[in-house]
Amino acid sequence: MDEIRENLSKVHQDIISSCNKYGRNEKDVCLLCVSKTKPEEKIIKAYNCGERHFGESYAVEASEKITHLKDQGYTDIIWHFIGPIQKNKTRLIAEHFDIVESLDRAIVATRLNDQRPDNLPPLEVLIQVNISDEDQKSGCDISEIDTLIETVQKCPKLKLRGFMGVGMDTPDFDVIDKEFSTLKSLFDEYSKKLNDFNILSIGMTHDLDIAVKNQTTEVRIGTAIFGAREYKSMTADNQKIAFIGGGNMSTCIYESIIASGFNPQNITVSGPHIEKLEKFKQKGSVITSDNIEALKNADIVFLGVKPQILTSVLDEIAASGVALNHKLFVSMAAGFKLSSIEKKLNTKKIIRIMPNTPAKLGLGVIAVVYDTEVSDNEKKLSEKMLSGMGTCIVGDEDNLNVIGAVAGCGPAFVYRFMEALIAEAVAHGLSADNARKIVEQTVLGSANMSLKNQDCTLASLREAVTSKGGTTYAGLCKMTEGNFEQIMKNTVQASLDRTYEFEKMF
């Protein structure tokens, strides 16, 4: 039996079993075949099995498939748009889709209405409600439903049909059941006062049974029908890499990647000033001033722009129509949390890194945080890419902030200490050149003494230099009198406080 036909048979049997379990008629539950990122051949196979409802999430990709399939005679497919809606993609959605299930903002409703062609029937819409109360999930708050309904009712080219919701991604089915039950209660309330308000779209493969229990009229199933995406083996030879931003830290990571065995011909670097990217071109990489051109074919995307620019870059990426859910994103922006990036890109395949400047010499510290959908293979590959920069320290986002304050800001604090020592040496008669050489070698030697004596505490190394009543002791006493430890505590805390301010901004 054909694989898709066999998969569809199993999905329909699951629906029938759940309906029998809860005393429902299986004909009251519509199967929406989620065909996003899937080729036309698979859609045709499902169509030939009798399916007519297909769901897509990426406007550009979907509009091309819809047009091509209609040209081939598949004109009776009902196309559902189920993904987050970008404002600059509303025209494509309005022109090509029959139903939009992810309406969550008044401005989107207005744009869909204004851009719906006159020769097409009203665009049916479902209001997506954020029932899991997760920042990274699309959907309006329950408190916003009435206002959004009022907007839709003022749009003659839209027809409101119901609610859509996505349950929390959790193995705790009691949590999902509670969320679905909440939306079902809301659905019952509004269906009593709105005409043709009769579609409740909840439930995917893992929570289908709970959705049927809560009276869903539609389940959205993709992988169980079409199969998971076939991933190519991730190796240094076959990964396509993009850098959005070609500044100092991107250059540092680029050099580490090349040194780790990655092919420079598989790397594209984008930036606003093409002339500043010539150094990458000379090593065999592609350069462009178009971020989306760099993004399109990339498996791994490094976001190498400043935090205050990252928001606009993420908006540009999200609005591109490029399928993002199988790309790995690596951000090096301070203060820009995983949840903020998730919300923009609707993916959890994200890594945050925080390198310090000695990474340029391969002597750095790179703090690394993995989001929940980063695979073990991707983790290993990312550490291979970064290995040429120094030592990777993996932790959570709280760790990242601390590492950023200690390691990221730390070199500046060390340089400030060195500047002070050099200034005192010069004040007491040494030449500036000699003073710098002495201080540099002293710091280098001290760091190596620490590295090569891991069985000793730093306190014991300090005590080995200090004789009671001697010169070193006299100097250390002055550090104590000056409350040196409190100064360092205040210094690190100030850096952390600023990081938390950045997090609130983004």
pLDDT (tens digit, 0 to 9) for every residue of the chain, 506 residues total? 589 999 999 999 999 999 999 999 999 999 999 998 889 999 999 999 999 999 999 888 899 999 999 999 999 999 999 998 988 889 999 999 999 999 999 999 999 999 999 999 999 999 999 998 776 578 999 999 999 999 999 999 999 999 999 998 788 889 999 999 999 999 999 999 999 999 999 999 889 999 999 999 999 999 899 986 554 455 656 789 999 999 988 999 999 999 888 889 999 999 999 999 999 999 999 999 999 999 988 999 999 998 889 999 999 999 888 878 789 999 998 888 999 999 899 889 999 998 888 988 889 999 999 998 888 888 988 988 998 899 999 988 888 888 888 988 999 999 999 999 999 999 999 999 999 999 999 999 999 999 999 999 999 999 999 999 999 999 999 999 999 999 999 999 999 898 888 777 76
CA–CA distance, 486 with 152 (Å, rounded to integer): 59
Six token digits for residue 301:
């995307």
- Backbone phi, psi, residue 82, to 5°: -125, 5
Q: Mind listing the pLDDT tens digit for each residue in 76-117? A: 999 999 998 988 889 999 999 999 999 999 999 999 999 999
Q: Which domains does the chain have, with CATH numbers?
A: 3-226 (3.20.20.10), 241-408 (3.40.50.720), 426-496 (1.10.3730.10)
pLDDT value at position 491? 94
| Cα–Cα nearest to 91, from 152, 100, 311 | 100
Whats the size of the chain, residue-wise?
A: 506
Name the pairing type of β-strands 350-355 and 364-370. Answer: antiparallel
b/e per residue, 469-484, with b = 16+ CB within 10 A?
A: eeeeeeebeeeeeeee
CB 200 within 8 A of CB 162: yes
- The tens digit of pLDDT for each residue in 236-245 reads 567 899 999 9
Q: Could you tell me which residues come within 8 angstroms of residue 130 by beta carbon, excluding any fewer than 6 positions away?
A: 104, 137, 138, 139, 140, 141, 165
The residue among 312, 348, 310, 309 whose CA lies nearest residue 328 is 348
Token representation of residue 408: 């990221």
